[in-house]
Chains A and B, each alone.
Chain A
Amino acid sequence: MSTEFVNIGTDKEPSMVPPEALQPDTKEGREYWEMVATGSVVLENQVLDLLLEKINESKT
């Protein structure tokens, strides 16, 4: 179980997500994003945008 969350926001405005959220191609990441698509995990719109931005950054 993941307990160490990652801050994808700033120190002033932290947005904590589990590490698998940033690894969508892993088994755990796939499960996490499936939960987003089916409403099991709720991401605020801003956090969703930030998360997608971070994933894209890590791929380039």
Chain B
Amino acid sequence: MRAKLKFSAPGKLIISGEHAVVYGYPALVTAIDRRLSIEGSGKDDKITSDIPIGAGMGSSAAFAVATSALRIKKIDLPKINELAYKLEKKHHGSPSGVDNTICTYGGFLWYRKESENLKTFKVIVPKTKFPKIYLLNTGKPVESTKEMVTHVSDLYRGRKSYFDTVFRGIEKITKEFLGLLLNDSNSDFDELVKYNEELLEKLDVVSPTTKNIIRKIEKIGGAAKITGAGGKKESSGMVIVYHNDSDKLLKFAKDNKLDLFSVKIGEEGVRIEK
């Protein structure tokens, strides 16, 4: 009888660069403390997960990475990453490699599509801790995410030079977030979050309801930005929220009946579970 092994892999979150990344601008992603585990011997494996499905939080890649680890039967990061990429390719056709890489290595990852055939990846070893953040679930957008991608694409084609300026602004913020991680920036985390949100609103991917919640968070001294494709009619999906006084934020969420939960970022990649 073969011994059962258990491996787990984290979900992920995009900190900065959503939408802009489609047009060759960089993105910064991180592993989170939501994980998917697979236990078994390659047959009738038991899967457990607390990563939301279809929310852009890497549930599919976490599955590919944990499955790869189970097949390889040990933690060999390059091998796991390579196999997980193959599985992702089988599933999605043309994965960039971002999701399997962050779910394998954990921490933070810098990514940019330089051209159709050249992509840059860099696993970031942080020199400092990022502030504690929360996720606010504004609900499932009524639009499909394809509509959001098309919407931004239409805007971009209509006013290319203007939206290039917006994307360059997002790129600058993504670099500043990276600078914070590397202890190489004097920017304030909350100001970067606010400015990032301002630019995402220029892309028209944030709904009036979500904007209203974000303005209220700013009013009590916090900062928030959507993470992922967004939504412009009613809900906008997940929102990253920061406040230096967590109690104030939790009270605000309770008073306004908002679905707010803490999330740890920069978490460990694939690992064997005892």
Residues of A within 8 A of B (CB): 1-3, 5, 16-18, 21, 24-25, 27-45, 47-48, 52, 55
In the complex, the chain B residue whose C-beta lies closest to that of A17 is: B93
Q: Are A38 and B94 in contact (CB under 8 A)?
A: no
Most chain A CB within 10 A, of B29, B111, B145, B147, is at: B145
B98 lies within 8 A of chain A by Cβ: yes
A–B complex contacts, Cβ < 8 Å, 7 sampled: A5-B93, A21-B93, A29-B144, A33-B148, A38-B21, A45-B116, A52-B150
Q: Given the complex of chains A and B, what is the CA–CA distance between A42 and B146 in angstroms? A: 14
Shortest beta-carbon distance, B274 to chain A, in Å? 29
Q: Given the complex of chains A and B, what is the CA–CA distance between A46 and B87 in angstroms? A: 24
Contact residues of B between 172 and 226, Cβ < 8 Å to A: none
Q: Are B228 and A38 in contact (CB under 8 A)?
A: yes
Which 7 A-B residue pairings sit nearest by Cβ, starting from the closest?
A: A24-B146, A39-B21, A33-B145, A37-B229, A34-B56, A24-B144, A33-B146
Please tell me which one of the listed residues B29, B87, B113, B145 contacts residue A30 in the complex, with CB atoms under 8 A apart: B145
B15-46 toward A: CB 8 Å interface, digit per residue (1/0)?
00111011000010100000000000000000
Shortest beta-carbon distance, A13 to chain B, in Å? 15
Q: Are A24 and B147 in contact (CB under 8 A)?
A: yes
Shortest beta-carbon distance, A41 to chain B, in Å? 5
Please tell me which one of the listed residues A3, A31, A43 contacts residue B60 in the complex, with CB atoms under 8 A apart: A31
